A and B are shown apart, each in its own frame.
Chain A
Amino acid sequence: MKGTWLLAWRYVTYHRWRSLLLCLALALTVVLPITVQVLVGRFERELTERADATPLVLGAVGSRYDLVLSSLYFRGRIPAPVNLSAAEALRATGLADAHPVLARNTAKGAPLVGVELDYFAFRKLVPKRGTLPQMLGDCVLGATIAEELGLGPGDSVLSDQENLYDISKSYPLKMPVVGVLAPNGSPDDHAVFSDLATAWIVEGIGHGHRPPQEQTDEQRLSTEEGHIRLNASIVEYNEITPANEASFHFHATADELPLTGVLVEPFDRKSRTLLLGRYRVDDELQLLEPGVVVQELLGFVFRLKTFFDANALAVLGATILFLGTIVLLSIQVRRRELDTLMKIGAARTTLVRLVGTELFFLALGGAVIATLLAFPILSLLLQHAGL
């Protein structure tokens, strides 16, 4: 038995380039399905965990998927906005807690998410360094984005300019980083958080500038009964400081302050049922169960994966057939060598074991290469997918 292992090992290593090619062929055949399997598993786990941790989500009528993906995962198309007054109305029912979320902008390429402080408690997010937002304009970074950007407390980030050539849009806001959150393996790790008011300022709904009385005549359009109207040439503050904080204000009411969605935490099962029933007949709002929506979404993914699995299986089958052909051809080429082994006393079963052991070494080599390849590929794909 030991001799067979030695002979097989010697044969495989003697023909090292051919063996390496075969190992690579095997590795490539298995590495992609394995990677996809892991990726889909991670994708499913993350989606499901997040959805299960969010009992209900309230938003404007429209795409169910957009609302859930934007409110929970801060990705996908931005849904039609729901107003702050909807969140306040929900709270007023006394049936649930509401956690408004505004995720329509970005900072340094990461989602800039405006939330209230209780969002952090709801998601069990705690600062690893620094603090949670203390005042208007503060932001905290998710663990991954902080690491990627190399930023921490004491640094600052600029919100991303929506449209460089549209001067009517708001200026980028410089936000001091006051904390970095501990990682929790969720989309929160990839986001920049501020309070809702800061997010509205980034939206352009609120702003700060010198008092109207101090503006030049060219910037004053009219003065009527103490109301001064200014034109668009006034210079807005692009950073909120203790000195100018008081000058920031909003040109909107609660009915006009937009949200992406409202995460809803019913107090009990009955409240949940009542809320679901109440919003089922609402023409403007929809209350969704994220778990159900995500399962629908995963249904599409798994249907797609079934085709991919079938394809991978076909490729694996073809590779095995090719490998079988190579082995048969190799036996033909080695006929004389195998005959010699038989003449000097090897049984036919010994030769079968010898070829089998060689295949085992090739498969083992393929598995090792596949494992080595899987890590960087997976890491790359996970990074690309933001998982």
Chain B
Amino acid sequence: MKGARVEAVDLAFGYAGDPFRLAIPHFALVPGEAVALIGPSGSGKSTLLSLLAGILLPDRGRVEFEGRCWSELSSSARRARRIAGVGLVFQEFELLEALSVRENVLVPYHVNPALTLDPGVERRAREIMDGAGILPLADKRPRSLSGGERQRVALCRALVAEPALILADEPTGNLDHATATHAIDLLFEARARGATLAVVTHDEGLLPRFDRTVDFAPWASRGGVPVGATR
């Protein structure tokens, strides 16, 4: 698998009616690298992940994914590229309670006509779940799982389509140290297979494992005041 290149240039973004502003002169992820994104709460880390994934579009500037600017694509084309190339991991896991673990892992294939659920995909899902230690839980519902197990299901869901870019928003925020280490191991296994990895984290103990760390504080402001200034 080849990792994805992502680049944000002269990027500015704000939510309507909110004094928060994100302004990034330049930020890039090179293929195969692992980057930790740190910064105080409210500094826009999750917003940047959404911008990098093409979920949000900037007010100004460009975000390019594999050489194509998200803003220049139609919403369906953006969705198709995101499905094919980006794996998202959320802090709150965001599992669907009505589905089993196996169905949660394969849910991208259930909601995207662009993805075909074939025996090869199901085999890969089993392997990923096996690697994450959740294969025995495949038929259980998320509510019967522990926090760590739920996060591993969310990680498997992000990895099942073998994305070139993995964006994880505080994937260890709700986990104890041992469970967090296991979750990060799973992400780095994907990185070892070539994926580009960007992880928002507050856990300073994990930072040495990344190629570099990017501090968000200088890029975010609230009502013209840098967010980092209040820290």
Contact = CB atoms under 8 A, between A and B. Distances in A.
Interface of A: 1-4, 6-7, 10-11, 13-15, 336-337, 340-347, 350, 354
B88 A344 contact: yes
B99 A345 contact: no
Contact of A14 (B90, B97, B110, B117): B97
A21 B86 CA distance: 40
B98 interface: yes
Interface string B121-143: 00000000000000000000100
Nearest to A348: B75
A337 B110 contact: no
Contacts of A1: 113
B157 interface: yes
A2 B113 CA distance: 10
Nearest to A346: B111
Given A3-B117, A343-B55, 17 more contacts: A2-B110, A3-B111, A4-B111, A7-B98, A7-B111, A10-B98, A10-B103, A13-B98, A15-B98, A340-B90, A340-B94, A343-B50, A345-B79, A345-B83, A345-B115, A346-B112, A354-B111
Contacts of A354: 111
Contact of B103 (A6, A336, A343): A6
Interface string B97-113: 11100010001111111
Interface residues on B, range: 20 to 34
Contact of B88 (A2, A11, A337, A343): A343
A19 to B, nearest CB: 11
Given A345-B79, A345-B112, A337 B117 contact: no
Nearest to A340: B94
22 contacts: A3-B111, A4-B111, A7-B99, A10-B103, A11-B98, A14-B97, A15-B98, A336-B94, A337-B94, A340-B90, A340-B94, A341-B107, A342-B55, A343-B50, A343-B53, A343-B55, A343-B90, A344-B157, A345-B111, A346-B112, A347-B79, A350-B113
B1 interface: no
Interface string B52-91: 0101000000000000000000001001001100001010
B96 interface: yes
Nearest to B50: A343
A344 B161 CA distance: 11
B140 to A, nearest CB: 13
Contacts of A336: 94
Q: Which 3 A-B pairs have the closest CB atoms?
A: A3-B110, A14-B98, A346-B111
A4 B110 contact: yes
B111 A337 contact: no
Contact of A337 (B53, B96, B109, B115): B96
A4 B82 CA distance: 20
A80 to B, nearest CB: 71
Contacts of B50: 343
- A contact face: mostly helix, strand, loop, or mixed: helix
Given A343-B88, A344-B88, A345-B83, A7 B94 contact: no
Contacts of A11: 98
A345 B108 contact: yes
Nearest to B154: A340
Nearest to A350: B111
A11 B110 CA distance: 14
A340 B99 CA distance: 14
Contact of B108 (A2, A13, A344, A347): A344
Given A14-B98, A337-B94, A344-B157, A7 B110 contact: yes
Contacts of B55: 342-343
Nearest to B76: A347
Nearest to B143: A14
A225 B214 CA distance: 138
Contacts of A2: 110
A3 B113 CA distance: 9
Contacts of B107: 7, 341, 344
A350 B115 CA distance: 14
A3 B109 contact: yes
Contacts of A341: 96, 107, 111
B117 to A, nearest CB: 7
A348 to B, nearest CB: 9
B44 to A, nearest CB: 17
Contacts of A13: 98
A263 B110 CA distance: 71
A304 B82 CA distance: 61
A1 B83 CA distance: 17
A316 B90 CA distance: 42
Nearest to A8: B98
A45 B228 CA distance: 84
Contacts of A3: 109-111, 117
Contacts of B109: 3
Residue from the set B55, B109, B110 with the largest chain A CB neighbour count within 10 Å:
B110
A296 to B, nearest CB: 58
Contacts of B83: 344-345
A70 B110 CA distance: 66
Contacts of A343: 50, 53, 55, 88, 90
A345 B107 CA distance: 10
